[in-house]
Amino acid sequence: MKIAILASEGAPYIKSGGLGDVMEALPSALARIPGNEVVLFLPYYKKILDNPAYETELAVQFQVALGWRQQYAGIRRLKNRADGVQVYFIDSLYYFGGRDGAIYGDGDDGERYAYFSKACLDAMVALDFIPDVIQCNDWQTSLVPVFLKSQYYPFFPNTRCMFTIHNVEYQGWANSDFFDDVLTLPWEYRQRLDMSGMVNTMKGAIETADLVTTVSETYAKELMYPYYAHGMDSVLAGNAGKLTGITNGIDVNTFNPETDPAIPCHYNAETLAEGKAVCKAKLQEEVGLPVRPDVPLMVMVTRLAGHKGLDLLCHIARQLLWEEDCQLLILGTGEAQYENFFLGLAREFPERVSAKITFNLGLAARIYAGGDIYLMPSKSEPCGLSQMNAMRYGTVPVVHATGGLKDTVPSADENGKGGLGFTFQSYNADDFLGALKRCLHLYKNDPVQFRALQKTDMEQDFSWDKPAGRYMALFDRMLNG
């Protein structure tokens, strides 16, 4: 099957969050399936263009029509990727390569990604790569199915399009005049893109894609409710027959405690006791906490954003530290209020709390390896990847039972049996504290069972093999009705 995957970010070239990880591993997993030809399109951001590790050559170039604009696009073929995925970067100095700073957040993001979406379709035509399936991701590529149905149909008569929601919070809102100024679509599409008089490109994708997926089964159900859907519930309910949840995997080769070059001692499910003990001691040393093998080390690697459940942690942190002998280590950057809170907490409890306000992939790996307990109390979580990373390294998760957290961390009982971690159902601080205390209790009072739970976590299959198979089944369904 010929598959084109389109996204606004993809590791290792460029990544701001989980989407970048998925766009590294999913194309690769699909390319491993015999008979597949997989092509991945990404914007040629300055960070990629400036990186000498990525060798590219110009494949084709053309002008993209965007309303009254004609914008140059160079299609750069990546020459050095080994896993069979062909990567093409869309080169535009004006929209991507000439801009410093964060990849999102410019005033003209709507126009930038409308351009990207169109340039990818033009590139497929110019390269004579007419895929069976286009899989596109999040609002940045949400115009792809819209363009495909409205303007590009003659070039792609048999191509089917899947739209995947990684996070419904960002929807591609624009003023009404965006429609005429940038999109210039047939008039009937104004209605399909309309939300409260504005343009909403994600709505357009849900209405026009052949199938819609999201990144966990539970999130697919949650999206039917206003609490989770950020206004998209009625649109999704109207298209419920199209919507499926496929829980993400993780890259089990990168995240592998037996080979990870970032961690001080390698281990597997059989040698976890000795391996993690070394990793824990080194980690405590690295982050400036007393090296104490007996004390439970609770860790968190996260964007410091409200929906990650930080308000719950802030609320209970002091009580927890007063009542329990434990250490807390946070790695991440984000909203100033949380950065300041955790820095303050570390000053107040220097022997107990360490806050690393930075982005550091190596330290993240050492935290997965050296931690005992991984905290992820997210308010909502479409899938979440780091709880799976943590389990792969034998760190027991304590999570809010929502979205992908619910699907990947079945709840263990207070004896640590029958599940993979500790969960709480309703989003409030006391329930989170309760789950944490159940976990700490097991750690302190039944180390044998805690160890068994860590081992079970490490033995889970979080690879992309199963999810890639489910994507294939849906691709087949799109093609064969």
For ligand GLC, the binding residues (CB under 6 A) are 17-19, 22, 166-167, 215, 248, 381-385, 404
Considering the complex, state which of residue 199 and residue 215 has its C-beta at the smaller distance from ligand GLC: 215
- Nearest distance, CB of residue 16 and ligand GLC, angstroms: 9
Structure tokens at 470: 């489910």
Residue number closest to ligand GLC, CB atom = 18
Helix axes 336-348, 310-323, angle to 10 degrees: 10
DSSP 417: -
Task: Classify residue 476 as exposed, middle or buried by CB count within 10 Å of its CB (0-12, 13-18, 19+).
Answer: middle
Bridge-based pairing state of the strands 396-400 and 211-214: unpaired
Q: What are phi and psi of 329, to 5 degrees?
A: -130, 125
Cβ distance to ligand GLC smaller for residue 248 or 327? 248
Asked whether 229 and 393 are in contact (CB, 8 A), the reply is: no
Residue with tokens 């004579």: 128
CA torsion angle for 90, 142, 128, 149 (degrees, to 10)? -150
Considering beta carbons, is residue 139 or 189 the nearer one to ligand GLC?
139
Q: Is beta strand 373-376 parallel, antiparallel or unpaired with respect to 353-356?
A: unpaired
> Which C-beta is closer to ligand GLC: that of 118 or that of 379?
379
Compute the least distance from the CB of residue 138 to ligand GLC, in Å.
Answer: 8
| Least gap, CB of 198 to ligand GLC (angstroms) | 23
Which residue number, 144 or 215, has a Cβ lying nearer to ligand GLC? 215
Cβ 20 to ligand GLC shortest distance, Å: 8
Nearest approach, Cβ of 166 to ligand GLC (angstroms)?
Answer: 3
Least Å from the CB of residue 399 to ligand GLC: 12
Q: How far, in Å, CA of 365 to CA of 369, rounded?
A: 6
Closest separation in Å from C-beta 381 to ligand GLC: 5
Nearer to ligand GLC, 123 or 383 (CB): 383
**φ/ψ bin of 7: left (φ > 0), alpha (ψ from -120 to 50), beta (otherwise):** beta
Helix (H) or strand (E) holding 48: helix 46-49
Question: Which residue lies nearer to ligand GLC by CB, 86 or 402?
Answer: 402
Q: How far is CA 30 from the centre of its chain?
A: 18
d(Cα 21, Cα 9) in Å, to the nearest integer? 9
